[in-house]
Structure 1
Amino acid sequence: MIKVLFVCTGNICRSPTADGVFRKIVDEAGLSDLISVDSCGLSAYHVGELPDPRSSEMAKSRGYDLSDIRSRKIKPSDYVQFDYILAMDDGHLRDMRRQAPSANQAKIELFLDYHPDMVGQSVPDPYYGGTNGFVHVFDMIEQTSNNLLIHIRQKHAL
């Protein structure tokens, strides 16, 4: 089982969106028995909460369901258990690299490094923005998720 973890600040906007999008893409590819998907936040501000209603509405409008996702904080064991630990922005990347054991550093990457035109960039936090911010973030996440699945399929011969 290949395990993929998406990480943002509070696990209510960016990472649950990536979780829901990637999970559906994996399921539609018939790979749910080979790839597991989860998300979490670096903070415990929203533990147990549903994704932001704006994220959920945007997801629903595009055929994704985030209703089974609940916010959780990253755990030390996540650095060991997951094969791909994908930070939504460079601040998350730095924080996770400081927290993770040295043996697990290579698993921690920037999510947009899988986007064809946005390597090294951060997914902007739409929390304080309007609807257009959620649309823009969703577009980025969809394209990047498709490319991530292509990468995983090639690397793991799926």
Structure 2
Amino acid sequence: MQVMVKMLNGGQCAIEVSGDTKVSELKTQVEMSLFVPPYLQRLVYKGRTLAEEMSLDEAGITEGAKIHLMVKKGESPFHANGACSSKSVSSPPAVDFFTQLAVFLSKHLTEEQTTKVVIEFRKNCQLMIESMNFDDIERFAASNFTEF
């Protein structure tokens, strides 16, 4: 069945799931489409927050249902991954780069192509960041992020 996940800021996506899909699995699919990490997601259906261990059937979700995504205020992504111990972020950015990229690409590509391109670009960025040392970062910043 297909369900619609809608954010308050207007972002939305259609996701293909089965009735026995767990809410935690749905959150992973939402992350791929809307780029909100699962730990910051609160999914609400008919005014009820969906529990992670609950299946979509148990929640009464049917074909074409609209699920609302609330983005939690809270931890920075670095804290959740164990890279930083401070809670310095009080709210998520209004619109992140990857969301803006998806909006731009969606004007030129199909939804499926847009999702694939953004996911692949996101992976490539992560690999590039992980491979950089401090000197590389300084050179990259000094070049206005144009040369690596």
Confirm or deny a common fold (TM above 0.5): no
TM-score of the pair, normalised by structure 2: 0.32
Larger radius of gyration: 2
TM-score (norm 1): 0.31
